[in-house]
Amino acid sequence: MFKFRLIIFVLVTVILSSCSSTPNKESNYLEFKTGITQLINSLISDLQRFNIFVDTIVLNPFLDIDNGQIIQASLDIEKLMIAEVKSNFYEINLVRISPQALTNAKYVLNGIIVHETNKSASKKHYKISASIVDLTTNLVVTKRTVYIQNSGLNYKPTPSYQDNPMYFKGKILQDIISSVTSPIGNKVDTDYYNFIEIKALLITAQTAYDNGKYKQAYKLFNNILKKPGGKIIEIYGGLYAVAFKLGNLKEAETNFGKMVDIGMRQGILPVKFLFKTNLTDFLDIPELKQQYNIWLQQISKYLRINSDICIHIIGHTSISGSYKYNKVLSKSRANNIQKRMSKIFRGIIQRSKTIGKGSDEIIVGTKPDSNENAIDRRVEFKIVDCWN
């Protein structure tokens, strides 16, 4: 009987989900609170429609699809969803993911935030998608999408992401995207529970950091390294940020070096060298400049040791200014980084090319220039075949 109900549930949910196609009129976009309330109500109602037993659902904080970060809007979504379930679904316990909550949970709710940069109206447009995955079977049980228009969601990263030297578009983000975009009834990953277990530990460590509990965060991040699959770039990023906060610069440098090694092996190093508006100078923040020296030292060291690797140094800008001007500015920013690295490792000139992308690959894409979109004014590194 349960299997029959599940089959019917999947068929009906697929039909209902087809109603979430991209709206073609401004009037079909919802305000933020209305959209999120509709999203969580639809997801939970899907579960209840066929009397599928539900008790505890863990909520995995929504990730910005462009940089893999938990942003303030993610926390806003989380608060609205938990409050809505508490008010209207008394028999269901929706809680933020943690190792403790995970032991009692049957389902996990994942989500992504997409900023639709191709829209031209005065209000900004967003696509917010979520799915619920059965932790026993790894099946996508239901998924929904809402479209939001708003004067601007808060894209400020949480402190643990804000203080990280890189933004991450690795396995964690890809697994979340897969769980949200896979068809209902699909199995997301045979090792999905282990992935969620690591994510729960990561969120716990990041939460400690966000609350200023740096020594506790340090211990939690280190404990994750001992777990199978725990030696990932996000963990070393957390340890880097904690070590820097605690004044352990040597340890911070070591952890950044491990991030460089992982990133280079993955083919890209999205380091957050951030620049002043319309300039090739770094943001005038002494703490950041101190860290930038560490980053340049470690990247240069890696390239000096690994003589078979060549890179593109890629500059970016925000959308302010003319397209032609931004192309020149972004190239100048890449040149600036190459010049700084050449003082540490002369061979970088022969092993790298500088490229200016302008605003072609923006992440936040907002105006005017501010700390909110500082990540758009960045330089990153990409592994390429050597040309000699």
Predicted local distance difference test score (pLDDT) of residue 370: 53
Q: Residue 170 domain-assigned?
A: no
Beta strands in the chain (DSSP E): 56-59, 63-64, 93-96, 107-115, 124-134, 140-150, 268-274, 310-315, 352-356, 378-384
Predicted local distance difference test score (pLDDT) of residue 21: 56
Q: Residue 209 domain-assigned?
A: no
Q: Give, as one character, the DSSP assignment of residue 61.
A: P
Boundary residue ending a domain (119, 139, 157): 157
Boundary residue ending a domain (133, 157, 181): 157
Q: Residue 173 domain-assigned?
A: no
Q: What is the pLDDT of residues 159-188, one digit of tens each?
A: 999 999 988 777 788 889 999 999 999 999
Domain count, the chain: 2
Predicted local distance difference test score (pLDDT) of residue 362: 79
Predicted local distance difference test score (pLDDT) of residue 4: 46
* pTM score, whole prediction: 0.86
Task: Tell me the residue range of the domain where 381 lies.
Answer: 267-388
Tokens of 150: 């708003």
What whole-number percentage of the chain has pLDDT above 90?
61
Average pLDDT of the chain is 87
Q: Residue 313 domain-assigned?
A: yes
Over residues 237-242, mean pLDDT: 96
Residue 88 has pLDDT above 60, yes or no: yes
pLDDT band per the 50, 70, 90 thresholds, residue 192? confident
Find the CATH number of the domain harbouring 338: 3.30.1330.60
Find the CATH number of the domain harbouring 62: 3.40.50
6 with 136, same domain? yes
By three-state DSSP, how is residue 316 classified?
A: coil
Tokens of 170: 């690795």
